[in-house]
């Protein structure tokens, strides 16, 4: 079972919402669409569901061309950010509704609803109304309704975004368990890189209507093919700076330079962009090989266990994320230490230089 997008685009009133996109999504894993708001995730999902028609290109599902098929014909379920439930029906009726539309037998409906409610831990609430439930419970009801239909394509559009922080964590743990064991293609849109990483599966890093990279989540994270993909997968944002390579030295300015590692010796001299993730920039020296960079602290955000320090340095805003509590005053001058053994280099076309 697979969902395939072939050269799919979406142009509305002259504005391109989706650039030509090719994607091949398989059943059995979480396929994640990761990107900021307005990167095209929702538009792409609606094209996949059949709620919208692509301006050009084709959509194939399970070997059949479904581009022109109306959404009611397609076997698809969708879970939204806002908990969408029928307000005047009980939880049981809510979950049973797609089965009733399919004219299933009453006994069969009861069994299926009971099973699904058990999996989503809402068996106690079957006779209540959605308005009587908490946010997390309402979203579970919406998910139950999507699950019970046993659709071949299940789409999640940032379903946890309206939930409390802790609740999000809990559901994040449960979701892969519940949905991976099915023979359906699951597509999940989110803006949070940590969510994508925790789910695993495959990720499409999206940026302004294009898929910057698609592949196994860990791989997209550790080997971003281009600058955009690296930035999409960084929270806090990726630290970047322009660096020049000449002979065997990478140089940002007279004070900041480091020797080129063996792996990169083969690349030509010239201008590159170096990208370092915030957790590889430290406020204190951790290792002799780290490079010292002078900066001015804008603000130090200290949680109980970590420090997120915002600096201005090298003409850019950089962020350092480290364990422990490191307090700094605003406008304080200090030195950061960058782990250049753990960074990315991008050429002038923003493509990753491979070692």
Q: Which stretch binds other proteins (CB under 8 A): 76-84, 117-125, 239-247, 304-312?
A: 304-312
CB of 37 to other proteins, least distance (A): 5
- What is the DSSP secondary-structure string of 259-317? EPPGGGTTSPSEEEEEEE-GGGEESS--STTSEEEEEEEEEEEE-SSEEEEEEEETTEE
Q: How far apart are CA 305 and CA 262, in angstroms?
A: 36
Distance of CA 214 to CAs 105, 145, 205, 301, 338, Å?
42, 29, 6, 33, 28
| String of contacts with other proteins for each residue 37-76, x by CB under 8 A | x--------x---xxxx----------------xx-----
Q: Which stretch binds other proteins (CB under 8 A): 79-87, 105-113, 119-127, 229-237?
A: 229-237
| String of contacts with other proteins for each residue 244-263, x by CB under 8 A | --------------------
Judge whether 199 and 176 are in contact, CB under 8 Å.
yes
Q: Which residues from 166-195 bind other proteins, rule CB under 8 A?
A: 166-167, 169, 191-194
Q: Does 107 bind other proteins (CB under 8 A)?
A: no
Judge whether 96 and 67 are in contact, CB under 8 Å.
no
Judge whether 273 and 227 are in contact, CB under 8 Å.
yes
Q: Which of 102, 286, 330, 341 binds other proteins (CB under 8 A)?
A: 330
**């590692």: which residue's tokens?**
261
Q: Which is nearer to other proteins, 107 or 304 (CB)?
A: 304
Binding residues for other proteins, per CB under 8 A? 36-37, 46, 50-53, 70-71, 134-135, 164-167, 169, 191-194, 197-198, 200, 217-218, 221, 235-237, 277, 279, 298-299, 301-305, 308, 310, 321, 325, 329-330
């Amino acid at each position: 079972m697979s969902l395939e997008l072939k050269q799919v685009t979406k142009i509305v009133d002259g504005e391109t919402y989706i650039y030509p996109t090719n994607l091949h999504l398989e059943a059995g894993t979480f396929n994640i669409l990761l990107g900021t708001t307005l990167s095209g995730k929702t538009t792409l999902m609606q094209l996949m569901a059949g709620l919208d028609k692509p301006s050009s290109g084709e959509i194939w599902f399970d070997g059949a061309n479904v581009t022109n098929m109306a959404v009611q014909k397609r076997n698809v379920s969708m879970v939204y950010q806002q908990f969408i439930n029928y307000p005047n029906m009980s939880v049981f009726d809510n979950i049973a509704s797609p089965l009733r539309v399919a004219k299933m037998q009453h006994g069969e409906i009861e069994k299926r609803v009971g099973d699904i409610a058990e999996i989503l831990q809402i068996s106690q609430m079957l006779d209540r109304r959605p308005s009587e439930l908490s946010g997390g419970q309402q979203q579970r009801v919406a998910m139950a309704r999507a699950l019970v239909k046993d659709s071949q394509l299940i789409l999640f559009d940032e379903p946890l975004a309206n939930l409390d922080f802790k609740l999000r964590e809990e559901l994040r743990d449960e979701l892969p368990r519940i949905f991976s064991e099915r023979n359906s293609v699951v597509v999940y849109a989110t803006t949070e890189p940590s969510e994508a990483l925790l789910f695993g599966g495959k990720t499409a890093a999206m940026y302004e209507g294009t898929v910057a990279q698609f592949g196994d989540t860990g791989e997209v994270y550790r080997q971003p093919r281009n600058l955009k993909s690296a930035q999409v997968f960084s929270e806090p944002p990726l630290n970047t700076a322009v660096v020049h390579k000449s002979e065997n030295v990478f140089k940002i300015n007279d004070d900041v330079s480091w020797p080129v590692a063996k792996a990169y010796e083969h690349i030509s001299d010239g201008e590159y962009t170096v990208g370092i993730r915030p957790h590889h920039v430290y406020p204190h020296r951790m290792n002799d090989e780290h490079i010292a960079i002078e900066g001015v602290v804008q603000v130090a955000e200290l949680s109980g266990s970590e420090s997120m320090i915002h600096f201005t340095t090298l003409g850019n805003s950089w962020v350092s994320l480290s364990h422990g509590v490191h307090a700094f005053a605003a406008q304080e001058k200090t030195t950061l230490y960058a782990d250049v053994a753990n960074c990315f280099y991008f050429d002038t076309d923003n493509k990753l230089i491979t070692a």
